[in-house]
A = this chain, B = another copy of it.
Amino acid sequence: MTRNILLMEGPDSKGLVYHVTKVLYKNDCNIINQDEYVSPAGQFFMRTEFESEKKFDAEIVIADLRKRVPNEDVKFRLNPRKKKDIVILCTKEHHCLSDLLIRYHFEELNANILAVISNYDSLKPFVDKFDIPFHHVSHVGLSREDHELEIMKVVNGYQPEYLVLAKYMRILTPYFVAKFSNKIVNIHHSFLPAFIGANPYKQAFDRGVKIIGATAHFVNNNLDEGPIIAQDVKKVDHRFSSKDMSREGKDVEKMVLTKALKLVFSDRVFIFGNKTIIL
């Protein structure tokens, strides 16, 4: 008995669910979980988990599906669920990085951490403990573009499926972002869209908010404006300095980033326009 996953996305039309379930039925597959969503604009998304007793031939199933759903705008992905290869970018703060390293070390993260890159070297001794390559790519004396080229060289040596910005505190150029379209996950230390930009905890302190938060999102051209994957918050009060908020917010940041990555790495996150659909 094997467990398989089928992801499907495209313009809605009558009978999509029927066609898929028919193909699965004919291939002796039993559906265990099926979650489906049609957006107001008519985009169809479906995630189907199914079991197969007999030998399961993915190619035949995909061909069958295409025969019944000839519209090429409808995309199928069958069994993408394997460990994702990722590279992590960070600066000086450890909390998101260390949470990921620990989960990776104990095989709780559905990913292979191929390397860690930082524009500082302060986290190198820590990363070394986990036998993961650490690359110090300093930005000192380099233009933003030249620094990014250095980073890109290192990244490209690993061919990762995802780049994780685990508190990487530098702004990326549209050029860089375009190279990894829908493949960069960032953690921003506010509940976006509040406090876009630099120093969100300072902004939160100045505004006197009673709640702080964190947002994990894909990065597209405009920093802090990509599709949101996960958000969470924490209550604060007048006794919190912006430094206190920053310290207490770190736990929210790391939990939100990890939660978002778990969803992404288990192929539950569809991107559509500026939003995510999570099935």
Task: Please list the residues of chain A having a beta carbon within 8 angstroms of any beta carbon in chain B.
Answer: 12-18, 21-22, 24-25, 28-40, 94, 98-99, 102, 105-106, 126, 129-130, 191-195, 206-211, 213, 227-233, 237-239, 241, 251, 255, 274-278
Contacts and interface: CB of A to CB of B under 8 A. Distances in A.
Contact of A36 (B31, B99, B278): B31
A229 B255 CA distance: 22
B25 A32 contact: no
Given A195-B193, A207-B228, A25 B18 contact: yes
Q: Within the oligomer, what is the number of copies of this chain? A: 4
Contacts of A231: 209-211
Q: Which of A32, A34, A129, A230 has the most CB of B within 10 A?
A: A34
Nearest to A28: B14
B18 A274 contact: no
A33 B24 contact: no
Contacts of A126: 105
CB-based closest 3 A-B pairs: A208-B275, A194-B194, A18-B21
11 contacts: A16-B31, A17-B17, A18-B22, A34-B36, A35-B35, A191-B233, A192-B209, A193-B195, A210-B229, A211-B213, A238-B278
B238 A276 contact: yes
A34 B257 CA distance: 29
Contact of A21 (B21, B207, B209): B21
Contacts of A229: 210
Contacts of A39: 238
